[in-house]
Chain A
């Protein structure tokens, strides 16, 4: 059994943290709420080789596994950094089946892609050169992309209108890419949960009331440990999802959606508890806590949301229960 990170994976994670630390993405998340543009992290993603992370080496990518991409997404979530990867990585997975001609440009990051999964707001569609849909592939000039902001401005989001354009037919494994997307979102939310845990711990050590640090009070301490417990469950299920994507395809739906479900609940609980631990100041515009809370509020509704992830988990486990009736 080896259920821990390899040295290469630790390096990938640390390099991602380092690369993302050069821009103050947290401040940018706040400024974006009042209309400032988000910092462009695409050059960072290109330099780091993330754009071709899930593309085979033959097609110009790094040929890594979804779990490796999850490690990068976790670091993005931690810093509320949006590098356009959620949509792009899924698109490259779908286009990989046929080694599509645009894959080279996508792997190198010369061009960007995103997936339109449903009628709701879609992550990473603004700025994408290619839009992958179940109907087929559209070039960005065939469609109208309307950028929108919903609660959390740190995540580029948009509606896509097709208006009768004809897509190029595609043969891709959408279901697989959908489940991997759930796992990527889970990893991102794990990063959010880790970040609010750190904020909460630091403040509970530093802030004093009645002559003691507030972290010494059980009422505060136990709430923070509950964030840790949620984070631990999420991390374990992210490992499970990464493992399933790599080695147990039959378990991917269960694993990825369980990870997503746990991750959204963790980020929601963690971000609201972080505000509470900070007292009134945690609910101010200047404080970072609400930026994570916004991320968690929106994330849990996107791409099927926590509801559909839960439904998928239920469906998978009920099928197993029915199959194992004696």
Chain B
């Protein structure tokens, strides 16, 4: 067993390090998470990183990517952090949406869109979830109707990251309600400046508004905005979600800061001598380290040509659990003052995080069925035209 770079990876790391040494001053300050007040400096930094081969590391070379694997993607992220530079904020675009268009889009769509996305010249957002369809994604009701000149879109999306700064969105809509729910869906590219698109920030319990809700009122779409074929949107969305899983593996470095970093506010306090606090620190550390080495195992599988199973997604539960434990521990050790500021924010983010990217419950169901082979619950919506379902 080893965690060493292969000779090629070591060379990639050395080149990354050298470039970052020379250009670190051009980076904006590192942002916390994916949410920033103004993405412009991050996108211009992304352009420079992309030219240096440090963005889209896993993208095919013909689309400007590195044509490399998830380990190299992780190496790039590690080196960017090590240099004290900012990671890109368009993770979802680079990790999921670009790869989806490359896998499922038309030659014209690839030609038009993936370059500006890679270099940060155009921002993108993912328009899948709706107020009444998140875990049950195939239950979406946003409706696109075919017209003589293309499509007309009506509906609402929510939980959209960076929507207010996006030039385009990848949107899942229902195109045939008379088919069963998974069958009548189509994926579209939507220009966010089209008439009828309204973006409203959605303020969360933490007080910040990292997501938006988006309204579509008679938005006209061109015929060539369909990605992957009419009524074939479900398989396109599965492609996106598969890339999301892959991205989560190499992004664990930012999702899960090292336990010693989380403990910083307690250093020098009496709390560190308290037996109960120390036990909680152990629990938190074990959860975080478990996450890190689970990711290494999955990356190693990928390098060996084996696709990690859906159980890798259980890591999200660990991220939320460890975040919640860390915030609780720091608050308990430092008292009410700790509920203001950074750790109060962390505490206020965790309850909602449980539902981000699929609720914990749906995640556990999926793993129970796909990995352990446990029987599914009876499905009342299976093979029934969507228009005949109770909520449709």
Binding site for B on A (CB under 8 A): 1-4, 67, 197, 201, 204-205, 212-213, 215-218, 221-222, 224-226, 228-229, 232-237, 239-240, 242-243, 246-247, 254-255, 258, 261-262, 265, 307, 309-311, 313-315, 317-318, 320-322, 324-325
Distance in Å: Cβ of B325 to nearest Cβ of chain A: 13
Is B373 touching A201 in the complex (CB atoms < 8 A)?
A: yes
Q: Out of B6, B264, B279, B364, name the residue touching A321 (CB < 8 Å).
A: B264
Distance in Å: Cβ of A310 to nearest Cβ of chain B: 4
Interface-lining segment among B104-112, B238-246, B290-298, B346-354 = B290-298
- Known contacts A216-B375, A239-B1; can you find 11 more A-B pairs with CB under 8 A? A1-B6, A2-B304, A3-B296, A4-B301, A225-B368, A226-B364, A233-B287, A247-B2, A258-B286, A310-B282, A313-B281
Docked complex Cα distance between A194 and B189 (Å):
45
Is B71 touching A1 in the complex (CB atoms < 8 A)?
A: yes
Can you list, as one digit per residue, whether each of B323-366 has a CB less than 8 Å from chain A (1) or not (0)?
Answer: 00000000000000000000000000000000000000100110
Q: Can you report 26 A-B residue pairs in the complex whose CB atoms are below 8 A from each other? A: A3-B1, A3-B3, A3-B299, A4-B301, A201-B374, A213-B374, A215-B368, A215-B375, A216-B376, A217-B377, A218-B377, A221-B374, A222-B361, A222-B368, A225-B364, A225-B368, A232-B311, A233-B287, A233-B318, A236-B294, A237-B286, A239-B296, A254-B289, A311-B278, A313-B286, A324-B261
Is A237 touching B293 in the complex (CB atoms < 8 A)?
A: yes
Answer whether residue B5 sits at the interface, using C-beta atoms and an 8 A cutoff. Answer: yes
Answer whether residue B178 sits at the interface, using C-beta atoms and an 8 A cutoff. Answer: no
Docked complex Cα distance between A2 and B3 (Å):
6
Q: Out of A216, A247, A254, name the residue touching B1 (CB < 8 Å).
A: A247
- For chain B, give the interface size range: 35 or more
Q: A221-B368, A222-B361, A226-B364 are in contact. Are A2 and B1 (CB under 8 A)?
A: yes
Secondary structure type dominating chain A contacts:
helix
Distance in Å: Cβ of A240 to nearest Cβ of chain B: 4
Binding site for A on B (CB under 8 A): 1-6, 9, 71, 259-261, 263-264, 266-268, 272, 278-279, 281-283, 285-287, 289-291, 293-294, 296-297, 299-301, 303-304, 311, 314, 317-318, 361, 364-365, 367-369, 371-378
Docked complex Cα distance between A134 and B53 (Å):
56
Q: A221-B365, A247-B2, A318-B281 are in contact. Are A228 and B286 (CB under 8 A)?
A: no
Distance in Å: Cβ of A105 to nearest Cβ of chain B: 31
Distance in Å: Cβ of B262 to nearest Cβ of chain A: 8
Docked complex Cα distance between A256 and B358 (Å):
33
Which residues of the partner chain B approach A320 to less than 8 Å between Cβ atoms? 260
Is A224 touching B267 in the complex (CB atoms < 8 A)?
A: no
Is A317 touching B364 in the complex (CB atoms < 8 A)?
A: no
